[in-house]
Each structure stands twice: as C-alpha cells, then as structure tokens.
Structure 1
C-alpha cells in the first residue's frame, strides 16, 4: 500500500465552493431551476436511476450512498456479428400468397408466409449492457440530508448526503469532449473518501475482471452468441464477435490506493476523480476488426491529462452547443418545489406547466445524449439498457418506434442528432438490395419491420409482425424531411441513391388488386393490428392504408428529388404514370379513415398502433384546411381508439391532436402520459419516476414523441405555411419559446404569446424565399407596417403540399364538417439571413 500525495490541479477552494453551492444549501435552493430532475431519495430500481450519455457511452446512476451502482452501456455492444437473414424461398411463392390473399384465404396466406418468407436464420440480435460499476462505501447506510439531481442544462448528475456530520458529494457525467465517464467524489472534511470499486456483468455472460497496478481496474468480454427463438432447431447461433474492454482509473488526492485481484480500494482520501473508458472492436456492420484494448487505453490516456475542471467545462460546453438552442417557458407554479416523482404523480390533477416544459426539454436532452454524429442511431431504449436480453431486443423497430425517436430532431434544432439515423438508412439501402432481389425478385432495396446493428433486412418475429415490407419506405422519409429543413442540394445528392432505391422497390413490388385494379403491396400488414373477424394473430393483408400512404410519399418525394438534382428522367415518367393508379384513402361506414382496403374497422378496436393515420402525422396528406373530410375521419379514428394506451402510442396521439388543431385534447393526452407508473398500485403506459417513458416497460420513443407533440402545439410548418401556436391549450395562455426550426430554413428565434394571442414573433430566414405565416392573431411588422395578405399556393418550394386524391366515402358515413378558427395568412418575401419581426396588431 502506498501513501499518495495530492494529485492534479483541482484545489481545496474549489471543493469548498462546491460544498457551499451544492451540499450546504437547503432543498429549495438546490432545485432552483426549471431544468433539473431532482429527488429526496436514492433510486429504488433501474426505472428511478438517472440517464447520462454522450451518444456512444451511456450510464444509469442510482445515487445510492452506501452501494452506488452506475450501470454502463456502449452503443456498439450487441450480440452476434455480421450476418444476413434473408429467406430466398420467398421468391418462389410470391404469386401464390398474393392469390390466397385476393381469394380471402388469410389464414392460409399467414401460414405460407411463416413457412416461406419469415427468416430461418436470424430474428435479430440483442443490444446488451456492458455491465455495472460498483462503488461501495463503508458505513454510509445511515445518511441524512439526501439529495440527487440530473441537471439537463449542463448534462451532469449530482448526489449529496450527510454521514456523521460530513457532507459528501458526487458528480458524474459522460464526457462529450473526451469520450470517458467521469466521476468526482468530494467531502466537507479531509481524509473521508473511502470505498472499493468493482465491475461486473449479468449472467450468463463471461467476463474477466482484473486490476493493473494499484489504480486501474479492467473488465473484458464480448457480445453473446445468439440463436433466435424462432429459428429452426438445427440453426446455428450467430457468433458474438463484438469484443469490449472497460477501464477504470482512480486518481485520488491523499489517502491510500491499493488493489485486490478484482477490485480497487481507496482509503482516507480528500477527493477522488474516476475515469472510466469503454470501447469495442466494432468498425461497421460488416467489420469488427478494431482493437478494443487500444481504443479504451487511448481514450483514458487522453482524458487523464486534463484536470477535473477542464473535463467538466469541455463536456458541458459541447453539450450546451446543442441544448441551448431552444428554450421554453410555459409558466411556473408552486409544484416546482416538489421532487420530480411527486410532480409526475400530481400532474394530471394539478397545474404544473413547468413540468411539461421540463418533459419537453428532457426529450431533447435524451436525443442529444443518445444520438451523436459518427455514432449509432438511438434504438428502442436510446442507449440505456441494463440487460443481455432486453424487451424486443432493444433493437430498431421501424414500423413506428425508430422513426418516432427522430421526430424532434429537425424542429427542435438538433439536426446533427439526425445524422446517425440517416447513416443507418444509407447502410440499409445497401444491405437491403440483396434482400429485395433474393426474396422478391425486385429492384431497389427493402427492409421489413425490424433491424439491428448488423443491418438485417429480412422479416423477423413471424408473419403476425414481420410480414411488412414497408420499413425502408418509412425510414426513407427522414432523408427527404431533413432536406426540407436544410435545403442543401449536396446533402440531397448524397441521400438520393437510398431514396431512389426505395422508390424502385415500390415500383417493382406493386401489383394490381382484383376489385379496382389499384396498384398495391401484397403481402403486407397494417403494423401489428388485425381486423376483428380475422383469426387470432393473423394480421396478413394487402393494400393496407398505411402502405398506400407510404408508397405515395416515397414516389412523389423521389420524383421531386430527381427533378431538383436533374436526375433520372425515365424514373420520373414511370412514377408520374404510376401515381394515378395507387389506392386512394377511403372513409368507412363509421366515418373513419379505413385501415384496410375493405371496410373492416371496428369502433371498439383500441389497438395501440394507429398506422393508417400516418397521413395525418408524421406525413401531411390530411389537413383541416385542405382536406376537412379526411381530417374529420382521422378525428373519428382517434375517438374510437380512445386516449389511454401504451406510452409511445399516447405520445403519437398528442401529435395527431395537435395536427387536428385541438390543443386541449393534446394536453389531455399529456396528462395521460405524465402519469407515475412503476410503483405499487399503478398500471398501464405513462412515466417512470426518472421521467423515462413506460410502454411499459421502458421505451424511449415515447419521450421523443412527447417533445415532438409539444412542438406541433407551438409551431407547425407542414401544411403550406408556418402556423404559429396552432394548438395552444387553455392552460398555457401565456408563454414563450425560442429556437424552433421550420421547413425551408426558417428559424423561430423567439415567439411570445399572452392570453392565447401572439405578442411577438421573430423569424430568421436562412435560405431566403417566401415566408408564409398562418396565425389566429392579426399581425403587423414591428414598425406598424401592414403585412401582405397571402393568396394562392405558397410558391416556396419547401411548402408544397401533396395532391391527394378525393377520398372514397362510404354511403353510411356521416361527416359533420371540421370546425376551424378564423386565421390570418401572410406572405413575406425574404432574403437569406434576413430577420422578420412581427407583433400583434
């Protein structure tokens, strides 16, 4: 054992100042911020632990005084290795299965799909936890004055408590700048920092934990060899080829640092800084040849050259570059004095607008922390997963969940976080070419309802879920959507091959249905739902409404991109000749948007998926202004389905009600979502104590759906204009927001409202062009100059709206018409860099 002298540049004055600012203040002062999640007790379980991340590294901090647990993730640690899961038997039965569907033999078609189309080699790999860092503090179980927080303004987790009159503090963050997890331990008296550190990983994984010298602890292992439950008995497991190494270094000031075979022991230090580095050998979905030891060692060596102050300031500075772009103020009430879990529990029965704003910004925080340029796209749990076999593999479910993760990326000014999803789509567009060719004899590329780190594109999980060849089309909408915000033709040229490939698959896979001759997809599903008259688990169908809407979008957007890039004139002609032959939207006997080609909808169907409303949101086929009959039919579906549901579904409905311009119903959905679950006496979807979305279990898409939905309530730009506060609920009559982005390169630098009316709006035009404003308030320029009343279609190319065919309306449908508020519509010609200031007249 060796006595260590003071190390590093962090001085005693800084420790004392931290004690005064954090440890020495009362609870009300500690949480004096609208941007903190805070609690007066440690996390009882994982759903109360607090998430930190830097896009690649993730951790859940429990905040336990005696036995701290920091659960660890690295974005590329998945089971299995590079592989494919296509089923070439599908090609030989495509015409047979189509005929079975057209003949109404759905059970037979379902069985054939399971036998000949669903993958026989792999049903996707699991995202896995790295494991746990354990810090055990002797005699810290009898504590008082406890407080923990997650400050989403600087992305730092803090814990403080008192033992025997000594105030202890911890700070933890996942450095954006230095790619390590940093932990700082301080106390109000010298010589009081004593603990031992260990690492472990859940069984049945096999890891090696050992020490190097007296100050470094390592854990090494690999992802699991995995055989999917649904593969044949004689199928071989997919070999786990992702190797990882985790390295912990402890740098104390004073005290004694020693080691056992598998732990580090610190006794009597004044302070301690812990550096935790994690790396894998993953290069890309085809290559796992990197050196994980070298990577982890280099991350650690670079980070430990910096003192704690430098590490923390560099981390927060990079994080705040993203986070500070948007601010939101909906007002503050006395509820802010309560711990976050109490506020969640009371939200529906109280008035806590600041919690809605915190929930909104928490979604932005989670997106920044789970999706960074150069890294992997956020999966079903973002980057936070404490299991080896997580729910739904914590993979990429692309029939709604992965897309929902990225709905806030562009409008909430986090465009860079969108890049990992764009890269995922580009990689799938390459991997999926072989799937399209081998399985369906089709051009272009296809992806079904699920994929993973290895970019599998074949159908998984059985025909009930997996017989849906439209995942690539939905993902590809993000390629075009990003262009609508940035207007960057070089970017569009980069992603155009993926768009074109998805459109080519559409054209190859379309087939005429027998009753009307419409070109449709068969076989397919309306994701995860079935008509009530179908046998249980038989979801297989053809010409589902969501498919029809996606096909229309994929073809029209690809043709528009080709025109902008002066590419593929013949493809444009083929698309334009195909569009009139597609199946239209239909309004059924209950006044609803039909989910299937036949009028099979049941008003008692409460299914969580509302796939056939894709055309309302996130697309823009339906509009209260342009297509009021279709908009009312959307509303009827939402009423039939009901409000309570799984977490992500309720958040999708917030977006739907906002698009229907009903802010009060959108807010009612928020009260259903911000409902405490995960504690005795609770059930259903809602929110855990750590403010993560509960499907249940945890799925991060609900958090992102909430942030998207609240944005849609404050600003919309999909329907030919920038609509300011289109769906404001009565509870938020006064407020302000800064930094939102609208299509066409417009930024809402600030928007203020009072008594439900716009007071001031400042909009910057980054690309120039016509800025069309829709408002319920009469506006003028700041100097009192009248604004030009808009006429006709918006000539700004980024504000074109789809030319949707007239809906087929059942004779039994009763539509009452859509009741709209009076609106003002203005046109303002702008130049790039110009700022527009408008005020209430």
Structure 2
C-alpha cells in the first residue's frame, strides 16, 4: 500500500510539474513531437559539454560535444618573412592592380597550412581505374549492388550520409530522353563539386575540373545522347573537408541537363560507390571543431499519448513526458557546470515499468567502446589527422530493477527510475600543450558525482545557473500557450511580444550554456556541433561572428560570461606577436579574420578576404565595453598590455594614403566583400576606436604618457568617414558603392553599431548617411546579418524597421535566414551568432547607452507598447529596472555601481543627476527623482 501511494505521489508530482511548465510558458520551449532532425533537438550545455536532446520515443538520441575536441594540434601558422612582399602588394594596390596583388598575396602572404602529402601517386592510381575497360563510367557497368544517396548536397555529402569519407566516390544516374529531346543542344549543369570531378555521359568524358569554385557547365557533344536510357557518371575526388556534388546553395535552382527551353532535373537519388578512402593528407589553414559522440537509448514504447518535449530555460533543463500503456514516463536532462557532467533521469509513474537499453556511439573512424564495469560504458575517440584524444564515460544507476550487458550495451529491466551520468574529457591542456590524461580526467569527474543523487546534483546545478540567469528578466506581453514551432510560423504575420521576450532569454540561456568561467569561448555554433565537417569549421570568425556572440554579455547582465572571450583575446595576442612580425615587421600583435583552438592568427583561406588585420582591434573593443558597463579599473590593469600591443601594431602598420595623405590600412578588405584594397572604412573606424580606447585607458591608469601623446597626434590623421554621391556612407575611400549591392556584410556601419562614433547626437550627417547605406543594402540577409540590422535600425531610432527585422529573424528558416524550430539561428546553416545578436538587438530597441544618455524606449514599436525589464546593464555603471505602458515609462529604478553621472532621456525629456556608488534611485514617468 505504501509503495502504491509512493508512485501515485510521483504521478501527481509529474502532473504538477507539467502544470508548472504551462504556467511559466514565457520561459519554455514546447513541442508535441520528438525532433526529426538536429535543428529540432533541444540544446543543453555547461560551457564544456554540449548536448542535443532529440526526445525520440522508441529510439532516444542525445548527441554530445566536449569543447576542446578539435582537429590538428599546436603548430606555427605563420609564413616566415612574408613581410618581404608587403611593399609589392601595397604598390600593386596603389597602381589599381588588385588582381595581381591578390595573386601575389595568395602565393606569398597567406598562412601556412597543416602538414600535407604529395597527391600525385594517388591521383595516378585513381586515373588508372578510370582507364580500365569496364569501369563505373561506362554505359553497361553493373551498379545493381550500389546504394543510393541524395544529390546534390551543397553542404557536403557528410550531411546526407557520407561522414568521415575523403577519397574517390563514383555517382551514377539513369535518365530517359525522347527522340525529340536528343535532337536539342544540351549542357550538363552540376554547378559546383567538392573538389575534383570527372564527368561522363554514356561512357564518354564530357568535363573535368579540379576546384570547388569552378562551375561545372559541360556542353554535351551532338550525338552522344540516346533515345531512352542514358547514364550520367561522375567520379568525385575529395581530399579533405566537405565532399560531393554540391549543386546550388539556393535549392530552388536544380542541377540537370539544360537548354534554352527545357531542363531535365537531376536532383534526387543517385547510386554511389565508395572506391577509395585513402586520400593523401591535405593541408588546412585552421582546425575544425568536432562532435564527440552519441548516447542512444532504446525503449519498448510504440503507441504513446500526451507526448510533450520542453526546454525550461528558467531552470536549464529539458524534459520529455508521455504516456504508454497507462504508465506516464518522464525524462529530465541537464548539464551541470559545477559538476561538469551531463545528467539524465528516467522515471515511470508505476513501479517496475522502466526498461531500456543504452549504448554509446561516435562518428569518429578511430573510436573504441567498452564496458568498464556492469554499470559503466567507456567511449574513446581519436580525431582524424590530429593529436587530440577523448574519453567519455556513461554510468547508469537504478532504483529497483536489474542491469545486465550485451556486447557494449547496458540492458535495464523492470526499474522504477534510472539516472545516467555522462562525463567527457580530452588530453587538451592549452593551445601549446596536449599532455593531459583524458581517461583520468573523465574518471575523476565521474568519481565525484556518481555517489550523488539526481536531486542533489539538480539542486547544485540550478543554484549555480540561477545565480546568472535570475539577474535579468523581461516581459513584453500576454502569454501564449502554443507550441514553439507554431509560434515561430505565426510571428511574422502577427507579432507575439512574449515570443520576442522568450527569444531574448533564450539568447541568455545559450550564452550561459556555451560560455562559462574557465571554458573556451563560444564558437560559431556555441558548444554544439554534430558534423565532422561543420560549416566554416565551427571555429571563431573574428570579422563579426565571434564578437556578436558576446553582444549580450554586458547589457543582459552576464558580465562573468565575457571571461572566456577575454582569455581567447589574451591567447591570440600572444600568438599574434609573431604574426605581426612575420607579415608586417611590426610591433604588438595582430589577428586576421579567423582563429581556432590553437589560436592561429595568420591570414587564411583566400587573399581576397583573408587579409584583414583588424580582428584584434575589434576584440579589444569588448574589453573597453566591459569597462564602460562595470567601471572596473582592475579589468583595464589586467588587459592593458593587450590594448597597448594592438595599438603598437597599428602605430607601425598604418601608412599615408597615396592620394589623400590620411593614415590607412594596406592591404586589407571590407570583410568578405570587394577584394583586397587600401583603407576600407571599417578598418579606419576600428583603428580610431582602438586609439581612443588606448588614450583613455592609459590616462585612467596613468601610464605610458609618451606613447599616449604619439597616438593622440596620429588619431586625427586616420582616414575619416566619407559621404558618397548617393548620400551613403562610403564603404571604401573611393566613392564606388553600388546601390544595388545586397551583400550580407555591412561592415562600414561598424561605427554606428557596435561602435558609437556615428550617432544621432554628435554626427547627424554621418548618421543619416549610414541610414542611406542600410536602405540601399536592403533588409534581407543571413541570420546574423538580420540580427545586426536589428541593432542598426534601433541605433537609427526607427521603431518600425527594427520590428520588421525582428519579424524576419523570427521566421521559419529559409534560404535567406531566419530560425530553426529549436530557435537556433539559420545562416543558413546553423550559426549561433544570430541568436546572440538578435537578443541584444531587441534590448537595443528598449534601452541604449552609447551616447551620453541612457536613452529609454528609443526604438520600441507599438507592438511592444507595454512591458517590464529588470536587471538590464547600461554603460556608465548602472543597472536599470523599468516598466512602460503605451510606449511611455511608468516606473524606473536605477542602481549606481560606481557613483557616476546619470543622464536620462525619453523623447524630449532630458534629466541629469549625480549618484553615489551602491545607491538605488527611483524616478517617476517624467524622469523626476522621487526617492
């Protein structure tokens, strides 16, 4: 009787918990079915471990990462003596020889790649197979035993089932043509292939190319096509990275046989055969963030009802609840930062009803799985072409029931409840050292937690999490109980203010989950990645994406989470000293547009966008911003050498422009746009900002007066922003902007946001020119670009445009951007920066502090006409609580962290007050101090 009461109580608890979730709907992501794809799964993380919860009923899948599992290893990324070619590159740019400059820079000025092998012998061997009499290119070749694969796959064959495959793969496709069709002139359009292809029709070679950027449009000779069946065969050779027939990024454009009137579409299933996976090692500029493994759980549940999958961002836990055969099953998941573990609990409302099988798996070719004891599975991984190794441990603890094993699976039968603990570690120590013992690390963590109950771990986890999350709150409208994916579909047609508030808090949740004290900084995907070849290597792109990740850190009261970024800045400043010397013969340090776990700082990829030396200047801005928000002189003392080093670099690197005499960067580019140039506007904005930062920091710390004086002399000589013939802010020194250009990067507006040099108060002409540039560039863009435009339009005080861009960001993902069902930002594919930039942008609509004022409700549309925000930080060292109705402040409370001057603005009302450190001030609707 007591046991029955216990389980009736448990069922009651589960029901009460479900009601509690509904009551807190503003902080819940809710779904009524399991995730089908990764972008529907729910993210949890502790900064070190990230996991994606699919919530399947019969087949549960939890994919996980550990933050330090990357390819490659410590090495020198710099091409020694590259500076010998600097003057030649500059001279070519002065003489308008951009192509020549880019060619020379590509040969002599890019970073060193990782180790690579000679490919000639392998290519010769593969060639011989194509020359054999009966090879896969021939018309009558027997391919009945071949499997099928979806073609094309723009993000690589890895996304459609061929992960970890580098080498030679054959593809074949049958098409049927009429007698009339074969009379026409045809071109075979595959668009792009990664990387080499040999393409045949009916056994005859029609084309071959050797690089991804070369378009495959192969003219088909007359008489080659047959009435009836025709065979298209493509041998794809891929050395490293993404592979396969890529086709078009815009999936509405199909690959196929094409002429002026007709298209025979070839999208769909192709037969394929993996010929050779022993491709020679190919060098890469930088490393790739890797997935670690998967937890796979098999349940004997088929017919279920009342299914619910949620992510409670107020408590940082995911949950799955459903009923099967009269029993309610509950699964709870969280990632604990204090205990560095992923913790899962399975419960059933009736005794002895919990049965399942659990195993570990991994995509890494080099992996081993074994049982350490009757309750613990060990997964060992070794990354391909790298020095990093990892160990994961999964330990299962039961309440009731029994546990056994079969192979490397654990079998649980007849339990009342089960707790799963996952720990993971690698041999990474720092960017120079990989001497740690991963199994000892994982075992030590497991030893510390496996004797602790689920509820104890949960309590510790929530206390830690809430110490960050509860510092801020936002309410923007009445609650909505619909499923999250449904709310996403409806938001663009009917603004749901509470959904925008949820998006802000989700951004804070993701930052807490992917960036904690002592961890690595959040990368392009935070801490989550399921692909061996993720887009852009899931590393750190420093021409906006890494920086955007941390736009919410200060304003949304998560200052502690800036620490991993500051650690990264220090490390790239150390590595960047050699790059500054090798490439520019300069003092200080430099960072170009990308870095990775090993802190590469040299130019990478291609000279038309990879030579961009102002990444470090932008990162220094985050240190200064943190000071402005918190007024902490210790932060400046700790990082003064970084600020000084970046300043010294530009003191040495800047050169007079050959026409204007202004100081400019050369060579450089306006990020990913326009090729290699002299003095793009963004660079000048960043350098001016850096110089002002250095001058102010050295004054505050009373150091280096002589250097400060020299920088003060240089500052007014740095190239100024210019207004062009269309009334636009010029992107380059020359007035060559194209008003029809819709490029995703709008880098020349950096001084509008996140900089503050261009603003409505002090530089209205430039402010209006920036607005004109934004109008010409258009609203559409990738996910992070949409997020940046929210911030731009908020700084331009345009409430309707700001709202419109929020609507575009919060729409179902398409080829232009938006959000996936789990609210991950879509570049596409997934990039997390848009989540962070969008969250910061919504707050920028509500409050701004980049001028002398704390500007209240500067760009808030009528769709958000009432609301409440608490704990928002602003520059000058203040924390603000505010309520509003009908777009007017009704209550205002401000805490002074440092005792600074407080200047408030709402509409035409301006007020100024002196404050004392630690005191809180209350104001009425007219911003008059009442307490």
Normalising to structure 2: TM-score of the pair? Answer: 0.80
2:834 to 691, 694, 702: 702
Give 1:95's aligned residue: 87
Give 1:310's aligned residue: 456
The aligned runs of 1:16-95 (5 Å cut-off) are: 16-23=8-15, 30=22, 32-95=24-87
TM-superposed deviation, 1:282: 1.3
TM-superposed deviation, 1:35: 0.3
Give 1:188's aligned residue: 349
Which deviations, in whole Å up to 9, do the C-alpha atoms of 1:424-462 show, x marking residues without a partner?
A: 001111110011111210110011000000000111111
Three-state SS of the structure 2 residue aligned to 1:836 is strand
TM-superposed deviation, 1:589: 0.7
Three-state SS of the structure 2 residue aligned to 1:503 is helix
Give 2:921's aligned residue: 836
Matches of 1:525 and 1:286, distance apart in 2: 30
TM-superposed deviation, 1:177: 2.2
Which deviations, in whole Å up to 9, do the C-alpha atoms of 1:57-108 show, x marking residues without a partner?
A: 1100001011101000111111111112111242111011001001100010
Matches of 2:828 and 2:563, distance apart in 1: 28
The aligned runs of 1:737-752 (5 Å cut-off) are: 737-748=869-880, 750-752=881-883
Matches of 1:508 and 1:668, distance apart in 2: 44
Q: Does 1:400 align with 2:544?
A: yes
Give 2:369's aligned residue: 209
Q: Does 1:279 align with 2:279?
A: no
Which deviations, in whole Å up to 9, do the C-alpha atoms of 1:473-506 show, x marking residues without a partner?
A: 1111111111111212122111010110000010
Give 2:863's aligned residue: 731
Three-state SS of the structure 1 residue aligned to 2:387 is coil
Matches of 2:5 and 2:840, distance apart in 1: 43
> Does the Cα contact within 8 Å between 1:211 and 1:260 map onto a contact in 2?
no
Give 2:255's aligned residue: none
Q: Does 1:529 align with 2:673?
A: yes
> Does the Cα contact within 8 Å between 1:360 and 1:706 map onto a contact in 2?
yes
Give 1:229's aligned residue: none
1:179 to 340, 347, 350: 340
Matches of 1:634 and 1:393, distance apart in 2: 33
> Does the Cα contact within 8 Å between 1:196 and 1:266 map onto a contact in 2?
yes
Give 1:197's aligned residue: 358
> Does the Cα contact within 8 Å between 1:28 and 1:337 map onto a contact in 2?
no
Matches of 1:211 and 1:29, distance apart in 2: 37
Matches of 1:63 and 1:36, distance apart in 2: 16
Matches of 2:509 and 2:310, distance apart in 1: 14
Give 2:899's aligned residue: 768
Which deviations, in whole Å up to 9, do the C-alpha atoms of 1:787-814 show, x marking residues without a partner?
A: xxxxxxxxxxxxxxxxxxxxxxxxxxxx
Matches of 1:704 and 1:39, distance apart in 2: 23
Q: Does 1:154 align with 2:315?
A: yes
1:224 to 372, 375, 384: 384
Change (3 A) 1:691 1:466: same
Three-state SS of the structure 1 residue aligned to 2:379 is strand
> Does the Cα contact within 8 Å between 1:23 and 1:160 map onto a contact in 2?
no
Q: Does 1:583 align with 2:719?
A: yes
1:646 to 782, 786, 790: 782
Give 1:236's aligned residue: none
> Does the Cα contact within 8 Å between 1:23 and 1:161 map onto a contact in 2?
no
Give 1:797's aligned residue: none
Q: Does 1:491 align with 2:635?
A: yes
TM-superposed deviation, 1:29: 6.7
> Does the Cα contact within 8 Å between 2:21 and 2:28 map onto a contact in 1?
no
Matches of 2:863 and 2:42, distance apart in 1: 29
TM-superposed deviation, 1:12: 8.6
Pairs aligned (count): 754
2:398 to 249, 252, 256: 252
Structure with the largest fraction of strand: 2
Which is further off, 449-458 or 635-644? 635-644
TM-superposed deviation, 1:24: 7.4
Tell me, which stretches of 5 or more residues in structure 1 are unaligned? 1-10, 226-239, 531-538, 777-822
Change (3 A) 1:676 1:405: same
Matches of 1:832 and 1:26, distance apart in 2: 44
Give 2:203's aligned residue: none
> Does the Cα contact within 8 Å between 2:10 and 2:349 map onto a contact in 1?
no
> Does the Cα contact within 8 Å between 2:806 and 2:842 map onto a contact in 1?
no
Change (3 A) 1:105 1:424: same
Give 2:133's aligned residue: none
TM-superposed deviation, 1:326: 0.8
TM-superposed deviation, 1:18: 4.9
Three-state SS of the structure 2 residue aligned to 1:351 is coil
Matches of 1:355 and 1:211, distance apart in 2: 45
TM-superposed deviation, 1:31: 6.2
Matches of 1:245 and 1:13, distance apart in 2: 42
> Does the Cα contact within 8 Å between 1:445 and 1:502 map onto a contact in 2?
yes
Change (3 A) 1:727 1:263: same
Three-state SS of the structure 2 residue aligned to 1:409 is helix
Which deviations, in whole Å up to 9, do the C-alpha atoms of 1:164-184 show, x marking residues without a partner?
A: 111111000001221111100
Q: Does 1:604 align with 2:740?
A: yes
Change (3 A) 1:13 1:368: farther
> Does the Cα contact within 8 Å between 2:287 and 2:537 map onto a contact in 1?
yes
Three-state SS of the structure 2 residue aligned to 1:349 is coil
Three-state SS of the structure 1 residue aligned to 2:788 is helix
Give 1:439's aligned residue: 583
Three-state SS of the structure 2 residue aligned to 1:259 is strand
Bigger radius of gyration, 1 or 2? Answer: 2
Which is further off, 12-21 or 758-767? 12-21
> Does the Cα contact within 8 Å between 1:658 and 1:709 map onto a contact in 2?
yes
Give 2:482's aligned residue: 338
Q: Does 1:124 align with 2:286?
A: yes
Three-state SS of the structure 2 residue aligned to 1:69 is strand
Which is further off, 451-460 or 251-260? 251-260
Q: Does 1:827 align with 2:902?
A: no
Change (3 A) 1:131 1:150: same
TM-superposed deviation, 1:117: 0.7
Give 1:478's aligned residue: 622
Tell me, which stretches of 5 or more residues in structure 2 are unaligned? 115-284, 927-931
Three-state SS of the structure 2 residue aligned to 1:65 is coil
Matches of 2:336 and 2:17, distance apart in 1: 27
Give 1:666's aligned residue: 802
> Does the Cα contact within 8 Å between 1:23 and 1:169 map onto a contact in 2?
no
Which deviations, in whole Å up to 9, do the C-alpha atoms of 1:725-777 show, x marking residues without a partner?
A: 111111111111000011121111x101111111111000010021111112x
Matches of 2:555 and 2:486, distance apart in 1: 30
Three-state SS of the structure 1 residue aligned to 2:608 is helix
Matches of 1:190 and 1:589, distance apart in 2: 77
Three-state SS of the structure 1 residue aligned to 2:573 is helix
TM-superposed deviation, 1:189: 1.3
Matches of 1:305 and 1:133, distance apart in 2: 21
Q: Does 1:758 align with 2:920?
A: no
Three-state SS of the structure 2 residue aligned to 1:465 is coil
Give 1:165's aligned residue: 326
Give me the CA root mean square deviation.
1.5
Three-state SS of the structure 2 residue aligned to 1:190 is coil
Matches of 1:158 and 1:34, distance apart in 2: 16
Matches of 1:691 and 1:521, distance apart in 2: 39
Q: Does 1:548 align with 2:704?
A: no
